[in-house]
């Protein structure tokens, strides 16, 4: 089923709340709701830790809030993991790793245009998790192929559960690490990355896409076989708008763009009124329309969201909640302006 557009709203999964019910209430205020990840509530809810559940070789220190990897432990645990490889429940997120996921699954979303889930992607997970030699496991040619297949199973199981609640459900693969993929220190060639990410997405059920807040190689990213791209356009407006040919090809293939326009950081949020944010977003759109991207097609294939997640505001969750509600107000204004239903 197609991912809705028409400037409907959603948001990224990570939220600063320590009250799971309040976080879920705010997530439900978007047009396309999602289940929140709450690392300030419990380290199990860190996006890397959630993705690591049942991954062989993981060393999880809840008190120290660290996540590491041991190759010896991986070898010792691999057989047990493989014994569960055809068990969908094994790859789902357990209640102990999310305070709201199973609560979300118990709700009725039949009247929503879509719902959304998320899981940390293999590039970011592989960059972030270090082995016994302080080396990212992404660079291990033995571990990496297993990690790619493991993550596809986790994403597909979650998507199946969400589709049972709403046929338009889709998944974000969260990949903040993509902006570092082609750095000189990466140790992972761009050709290999393209080949393996294409294979990865080929194994994931549709609809699926990538969410990131950074500034990657946009030609590379827009060329992947995905259905939606969620980005921080508030920060990356100038550079992203210079990739009109790649953006056009992505839209022509049916791709959807979630424009992250409302900042969630305390200082930036206070500086930006809704009129200024509308102006910033429309300025990007005008540049793309002048470069040959069809206006109506793009609006039909666009969503709106906060620009980033934020866990460190001095007012904790208050500014983030204001950002969610401002996204909704911005959506209503633009949908009225462009006659979108």
pLDDT tier, 1 (very low <50, low <70, confident <90, very high otherwise): low
Model pLDDT for residues 9-33, shown as the tens digit of each residue:
999 999 999 999 999 999 999 999 9
**pLDDT above 90 for 183:** no
pLDDT of residue 227: 96
**pLDDT above 70 for 73:** yes
Element (H, E) at 159: helix 143-163
Terminal-residue alpha carbon distance, the chain: 18
User: Across the strands, what pairs with 60?
Assistant: 67
CATH architecture of 8-337: Alpha-Beta Barrel (3.20)
pLDDT of residue 180: 78
Domain ranges within the chain, ordered by starting residue = 8-337
pLDDT of residue 179: 82
Model pLDDT for residues 229-288, shown as the tens digit of each residue:
999 999 999 999 999 999 999 999 999 999 999 999 999 999 999 999 999 999 999 999
pLDDT tier, 66 (very low <50, low <70, confident <90, very high otherwise): very high
Separation CA 151–CA 222 (nearest Å): 21
Q: Would the pTM count as exceeding 0.75?
A: yes
Model pLDDT for residues 85-99, shown as the tens digit of each residue:
999 999 999 999 999
pLDDT of residue 274: 96
**pLDDT above 90 for 296:** yes
Who's near 325: CB < 8 A, 6+ residues apart? 29
Element (H, E) at 282: helix 274-290
pLDDT of residue 330: 97
Specify the range with the lowest mean pLDDT, choosing from 194-198, 204-208, 319-323. Answer: 194-198
For the chain, what percent of residues have pLDDT higher than 70?
98
Instruction: Answer whether the bond into residue 150 is a cis peptide, omega within 30°.
Output: no
């Amino acid at each position: 089923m197609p991912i809705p557009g028409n400037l409907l709203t959603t948001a990224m999964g990570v939220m600063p709340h320590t009250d799971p019910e309040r976080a879920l209430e705010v997530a439900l205020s978007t047009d396309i709701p999602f289940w929140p990840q709450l690392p300030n509530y419990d380290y199990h809810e860190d996006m890397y830790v959630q993705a690591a559940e049942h991954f062989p070789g993981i060393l999880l220190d809840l008190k120290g809030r660290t996540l590491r990897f041991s190759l010896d432990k991986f070898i010792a645990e691999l057989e047990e993991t493989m014994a569960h490889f055809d068990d969908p429940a094994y790859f789902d997120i357990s209640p102990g790793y999310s305070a709201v996921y199973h609560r979300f699954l118990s709700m009725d979303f039949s009247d929503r245009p879509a719902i959304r889930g998320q899981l940390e992607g293999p590039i970011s997970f592989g960059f972030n998790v270090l082995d016994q030699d302080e080396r990212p496991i992404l660079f291990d040619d033995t571990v990496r192929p297993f990690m790619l297949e493991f993550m596809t199973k986790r994403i597909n199981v979650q998507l199946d559960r969400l589709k049972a609640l709403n046929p338009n459900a889709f998944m974000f693969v969260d990949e903040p690490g993509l902006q570092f993929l082609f750095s000189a220190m990466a140790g992972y060639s761009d050709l290999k990355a393209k080949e393996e990410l294409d294979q990865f997405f080929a194994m994931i059920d549709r609809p699926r896409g990538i969410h990131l807040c950074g500034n990657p190689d946009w030609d590379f990213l827009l060329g992947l076989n995905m259905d939606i791209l969620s980005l921080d356009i508030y920060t990356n407006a100038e550079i992203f708008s210079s990739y009109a040919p790649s953006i056009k090809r992505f839209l022509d293939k049916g791709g959807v763009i979630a424009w992250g326009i409302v900042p969630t950081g305390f200082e930036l949020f206070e500086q930006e009124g809704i009129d200024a944010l509308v102006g910033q977003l429309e300025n990007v759109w005008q540049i793309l329309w002048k470069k040959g991207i069809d206006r109506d097609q793009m609006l039909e294939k666009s969503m709106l969201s906060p620009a980033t997640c934020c866990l460190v505001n001095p007012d904790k969750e208050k500014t983030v909640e204001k950002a969610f509600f401002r996204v909704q107000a911005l959506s209503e204004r633009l949908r009225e302006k462009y006659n979108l239903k």
